[in-house]
Chains A and B, each alone.
Chain A
Amino acid sequence: MHLMLEFGGGLELLCESVKVHNVNVDMPKGADKLTMKDLLAWVRTNLIKERPEMFMKGESVRPGVLVLVNDCDWELSGQLDTTLEDKDVVVFISTLHGG
């Protein structure tokens, strides 16, 4: 599945200062959809190069990180349960004091 991921508010510094990533993410084995929960695990493994604790806490983003799916607050679409579709745009922005 092709997705566009955008990192801002300093989070891009955790992935080699690249703000926009065009990526292909496969659905988890045996699943028929890709959720935000799956995507976060994928991002952590494949894109985050340093200080993952700045990005994630548990299996979700760290509180204070805003997530927009297709320009919409992910709190409207079910957060981790949000189902992603081909060509979705996901934006992560940190509002926290950096380090």
Chain B
Amino acid sequence: MEADAKPMKLGGRLCCVCNQRRAALKRPKTLEQICRECFYAVFEEEIHQVILENKLFKPGERIAIGASGGKDSTVLAYVLSELNRRHNYGLDLFLLSVDEGITGYRDDSLETVKRNELQYGLPLKIVSYKDLYGWTMDEIVKMIGLKNNCTFCGVFRRQALDRGAALLKVDKVATGHNADDIAETVLLNILRGDIARLSRCTSIITGEDGPIPRCKPFKYTYEKEIFMITLGCQSLNELSTYAYFKKLDYFSTECIYSPNAYRGFAREFIKDLERIRPRAILDIIKSGEDFRIATSTKMPEQGTCERCGYISSQKWCKACVLLEGLNRGLPKLGIGRNQGLNSDAKKDIKKDDRTKSIESKQCGSLEF
């Protein structure tokens, strides 16, 4: 871009904060040129400010960090334990992971999480599908076959995280969703015409009416910066290639077997925009925030599942319907419009018909 400046490469330009060290990074948010040392300090301070301004935590709270072994949640575990110590948040922090039971898939990332447990001294809880549901994902796939509208991943994973959080008796779950993730979700909700989820997906705290609220301390943090943090930190840099490449951040509830192509396109589009105008990511989030749902849009009524007690707007929660199908050897049960089990309990929800069927809420459904 600024061709004149390029002979400076070796000497480099100076950091705009300390004016002493060579700049190592151009911050996407501000276009500032900053050295590594100042960047770490600024990065952590910004997260601290986000936590304070949004009142994400209260002293004495127990907080589970949704830990996938990927870079976002690993950096989150690092930053939160650091800030908790430095600023005396008074939080009890835990790591919470989900093991879907997929041979050769989660092993590496669970190893990363176990290393985090030692490095940051945070107790780790791993909840497995096998324990929670009696089925591993491998067994489910054997039963239902691979198809591209899998409903299991999103439903089971979201619930597994909640159940793990309940076992840990935590007050809140913090996840590593970053600004890029949220901008992508805003776009996808627009593309799908899902205005109800559009404004919800930008909230920094969600589920305050549910059993366990979730929060996203990295809501305003660019993915690029999270990467730069991992690069500079030896322990973070050890993240396994596999977790990196597959980007197994399962709290996006992405399907493991058939990643959502639509989402991939939205991601790429956002990265294209970012290259032209880095602020685009924050602006998309802002747009999402400023959408206000017309009050006439009714949200589903929240009740609890008669079978397992999980929140549900139906008689049985989606996981229980899916499990019933699996256990009876009718894996299609609960998939599609004829929900059978819940048909007598259908609530009068004046919404697009699709929201009643699980099928519409496929893997990667767009809330966190």
Contact = CB atoms under 8 A, between A and B. Distances in A.
Given A63-B271, A63-B275, A78-B3, A97 B9 contact: no
A85 B10 contact: yes
A8 interface: yes
Interface string B231-254: 100000000010011110000000
Nearest to B226: A95
Interface of B: 1-3, 5-10, 12-13, 22-26, 33, 223-224, 227-228, 231, 241, 244-247, 259, 263-264, 267-268, 271-272, 274-275
Contacts of B10: 70, 85
A95 B223 contact: yes
Given A93-B231, A96-B267, A76 B3 contact: no
Nearest to A54: B245
B33 A63 contact: no
Interface residues of A, number: 31
Given A9-B227, A63-B275, A83-B9, 18 more contacts: A8-B244, A9-B245, A10-B241, A63-B271, A64-B271, A69-B9, A70-B10, A73-B24, A76-B13, A76-B23, A76-B26, A78-B5, A83-B7, A85-B10, A94-B244, A97-B246, A97-B247, A97-B267
A56 interface: no
Q: Which 5 pairs, one residue from A and one from B, show the smallest C-beta to C-beta distance?
A: A10-B245, A63-B271, A64-B271, A78-B6, A75-B26
Given A76-B26, A96-B247, A99-B259, A66 B224 contact: yes
Contacts of B23: 72, 76
A95 B227 contact: yes
A80 B7 CA distance: 13
A32 to B, nearest CB: 13
Contacts of B13: 76
Contacts of B24: 71-73, 76
A82 B275 CA distance: 17
A99 B7 CA distance: 38
Contacts of B274: 63
Interface in A38-68: 62-64, 66, 68
Contacts of A78: 1-3, 5-6, 9
Nearest to A84: B9
A71 B268 CA distance: 25
A97 B244 contact: no
25 contacts: A9-B245, A13-B241, A13-B245, A62-B268, A66-B224, A66-B227, A70-B9, A72-B23, A72-B24, A73-B228, A75-B26, A76-B12, A78-B3, A78-B6, A81-B6, A83-B6, A83-B9, A93-B227, A93-B231, A94-B244, A96-B247, A96-B267, A97-B246, A98-B245, A99-B264
Nearest to A79: B1
